[in-house]
Amino acid sequence: MRAAELDDLTEAGVEQVGQPVRRVDAVEKVTGRARYSADISLPGQLVGVIVRSERPHATIASIDTDAACAVEGVVAVMTGADATQYAWYEDDEPLLPRVGDTVRFVGDDVAVVVAETESIARRAAALVDVGYDDLRPLTDVEHVDDDDAPTLLGNEEIETEAEGRGDVETAFARADVVVEGTFRTPTAVHNAMEPHGAVADWRGDQVDVHTSTQGINDVREHLARRLGVDHSQVRVVCEYMGGGFGAKQVPWKPTMLAVIASKLTGAPVKVMNDRRSENLAAGKRNATTQRVRIGAMKNGSVVAIDAEIDTEVGAYSVPGEESAVQGPYLHLYQCDDVRVRTRRLRSNLGPAVAFRGPGYLESTFVLESLMDELAVELGIDPIDLRRRNHAGRNQQEDVAWSHPDGILRSYERVAEESGWANSFDREPSERIRRGRGFAAHDWLAASATPPGHATVEFNFDGSVHVGLSAQDLGTGTRTVLGQVVADAMGVDMAHIRLSLGDTSTGPPSPTSAGSTTVPTMAPAVRAAALAAVEDLLDAAAEHLEVDRNTLSFDGSSVQSTVADLDDQPLAELCADLSPRVVHGWGSKEATPDDVSPRAQGSAEAEVEVDLDTGAVRVTRIVVGPDCGRILNRRLADSQVLGGVTQGIGFALTERQLVDHHLGMVMNPDLNEYLLPTASDTCEIVHAALDIPDLAANEVGAKGIGELPLLPVPAAIANAVHDAIGIRFHDLPITRQRVLDALSARDRSTTNDEQESS
């Protein structure tokens, strides 16, 4: 059954859906029984450790592996010479460099030591002697236009991508006010608890790959292409995953290296990144510099938006980088004249990859900081200003949003939960200032990315099996899809099991990225479940020799309107029907073309700023994500807690520090890359909307992952401005930045006083 044939899921059809059902795998996780990729231990398994470049930009002069090979317990040392046929990142870039090839960032993969234990492999890796002929590096992309800037891979010609509509310059000419500024957002690193990596095991001409990934099918297809084998010869398994946030939506080198190391040694091989590798060579959020102007009329109506953006992509182009930094400027507000020019700049730093709302987080911070400034300048309430500029449609494609008023409902809910209309004490004590800030956001995905397919079959005891090849990133896919199936069939969730996280257990499902798994797979499993019920009734009619139209199924038995026919308990009926397998197939193959599916929202933040110490403490955050129908409030709240916390980190503590003289990342660890701790969080309020968006898909659920993150940094920065009157253009807002800004203001105030006296 195609999802397009489904009736809309209405309130009458939900019982489990919407309930705060506990994760079906909660006990496995908290008791440590859930198996993650690094937990896989196969007989005879070897461990591979990657030797990484110590130089930001160099030609490999020599690779001497003799000392490493001589270490007892070392099975192989793999270099570019052992992998000449394999490319990675870009089609003509080698998986591992040979002598004469170029390494392009500190941490670039050079060789792999495969040994009996990790300890031996690590010791031997330190003995691989790599000679480098240094080339001049470029790690600070502010210097990319210098006459003597080195030419990097992909920077040979720097293109400017232009998008937009109308005539920006003419529009600025008639604007009453213009707010503008240059903003910088930092490189943030995903730093998922579980690193990237894999265990690969060749058996005959096919390979099993246990890997931490957001897209088992994508990994399968990508590896098959690189290896030159059929998709069917690669099986990819990701039973549980310890966080991805976008960095695992594509396969990475450790996975491919495990695969070819297993082939080379004839044994299962595990290659997992350590924390340093995670920080250097496993993806990151692009750093951006954004020069932005917004023109508006006195009534607050935005008439022109112009953004020039440089975004740093690192040394290589990774599929799945997907920084959509132009999106918010094009879509968040009604505006006829918009221009966004973007340059994607290469550097001698690790490659960027999607990170929860890629590009959107960076430009939402900028756009919403300037909208706040506009509100201050015009004396218009920040929420009211945004209402006045509401865009109900995709102005680029001239098609309505799937839920045009969703963001307006978000404004209402956030204003209500935050007490926006109430008075607010901005000076609780002599040296403490308080402030509150508001920000809105758009998000482009959160809708289906077909194809998504699923099967549902009744076992011979009447229990239900759902087969699909999606994966559960830890967000609760297993649980919510079970809820959807339970409601479609009326069967108790306890009797439903899903097989997922294995390319061999189900038909194709999409990569879990952009919060698209639920919108794609919920309709697919619902269609499959309803098809299985249809098949059950067909089979029962045949078996009982009654008219199909007299039968119905309530989840536990098949009933008939025929007077003398007893109810048929499901278990007995399925046993009787054996060996016939009662089953259904469901598919989500299309997205609507008459509307533009969209998930938008907003946030309010409250902060305290300590004038003596520069400390910014977030005290409360309210978010109102329009994620459509909430399938499971408990899991939605979980996404809110995580998203808001990441937003606090991006606003206040997280950044990759680079020494541009050395061309090195200076904080590739969790000591100095400052993730927010529990103590850095605050009261987090989910102003839930829970409005089914049935124009977006048949179940009405959009994704939620990005939504509670996107508006948070801007809301915090706006709250800081409200507290101390200083607008920060650079994130994160560190002690250094706050204290330097306060000092600069004190100095200028003192000077002004001296001048006037």
Partner 1 sequence: MSLNPIAERYVRADNLDDVLRTPLDESSAYFAGGTDMVPLQRSGVTSVETLVDVKATGLDRSIERHGDRWRIGALTTLAELEDHDGLADDVGAVRAALRQVATRQIRNRATIGGNLLQRPRCSYFRDAQIDCWMKGGDGCPARDGLTEYLGVVPNDSPCIAVQPSDLASVLVMAGASVEISSASGTRHVDVADLLAGPTPDRRSLHSLKHGEIIRSVTIPTGNHSHSTYVKAMDRAVWQFALVGLAASVTLADDGTVSKASLVASGVGSVPHVLAASAAALVGKELDDETVRTCADLAVDGLRPSRDNGYKLSLLTGLVRRSLG
Q: Which parts of this chain interact with partner 1 (CB under 8 A)?
A: 41, 54, 106, 117-119, 122, 126, 431, 610-615, 617, 652-653, 657, 659, 661-662, 664, 666-667, 671-672, 674, 676-677, 679-680, 732, 734-736, 739-740, 742-743
How far lies 193's CA from each of 101, 127, 196, 271, 681, in Å? 33, 29, 10, 16, 18
Least separation in angstroms between CB 696 and partner 1:
38
CA 35 centroid distance within chain: 22
Least separation in angstroms between CB 658 and partner 1:
8
DSSP per-residue codes, 511-527: ---TT-HHHHHHHHHHH
Q: How far apart are CA 349 and CA 514, in angstroms?
A: 25
Q: Which is nearer to partner 1, 56 or 482 (CB)?
A: 56
Least separation in angstroms between CB 474 and partner 1:
23
Tokens of 218: 């994508």
Taking residue 41's Cβ as centre, other Cβ atoms within 10 Å add up to 10
Least separation in angstroms between CB 8 and partner 1:
46
Taking residue 57's Cβ as centre, other Cβ atoms within 10 Å add up to 25
Least separation in angstroms between CB 706 and partner 1:
23
Q: Which is nearer to partner 1, 159 or 430 (CB)?
A: 430
Least separation in angstroms between CB 434 and partner 1:
17
Q: Which is nearer to partner 1, 47 or 480 (CB)?
A: 47
Q: Which is nearer to partner 1, 473 or 651 (CB)?
A: 651
Least separation in angstroms between CB 25 and partner 1:
23
Q: Which is nearer to partner 1, 546 or 682 (CB)?
A: 682
Q: How far apart are CA 204 and CA 127, in angstroms?
A: 33
Q: Which is nearer to partner 1, 595 or 719 (CB)?
A: 719
Least separation in angstroms between CB 490 and partner 1:
45
Question: CA 380, 382, 384: angle at the middle one, nearest 5?
Answer: 70
Q: How far apart are CA 402 and CA 157, in angstroms?
A: 39
Contacts of 10 (CB under 8 A, 6+ apart): 692
Unique residue bearing structure tokens 């109308």: 166
Q: Is 72 left (phi over 0), alpha (psi -120 to 50) or beta?
A: beta
Per DSSP, the three-state class of 389 is: coil
Q: Which is nearer to partner 1, 736 or 757 (CB)?
A: 736
Q: How far apart are CA 110 and CA 107, in angstroms?
A: 9
Long-range CB contact pairs, 572-578, < 8 A, 24+: 572/462, 573/462, 573/536, 573/540, 573/543, 574/458, 574/459, 574/460, 574/461, 574/462, 575/460, 575/461, 575/462, 576/543, 577/460, 577/539, 577/540, 577/543, 578/460
* Distance spanning both ends of the chain, measured CA to CA: 82
Q: Which is nearer to partner 1, 54 or 163 (CB)?
A: 54
Q: How far apart are CA 132 and CA 99, in angstroms?
A: 9
Q: Which is nearer to partner 1, 563 or 678 (CB)?
A: 678
Least separation in angstroms between CB 653 and partner 1:
5
Q: Which is nearer to partner 1, 75 or 484 (CB)?
A: 75
Q: How far apart are CA 504 and CA 209, in angstroms?
A: 11
Q: Which is nearer to partner 1, 58 or 171 (CB)?
A: 58
Least separation in angstroms between CB 353 and partner 1:
24
CA 150 centroid distance within chain: 32
Least separation in angstroms between CB 130 and partner 1:
12
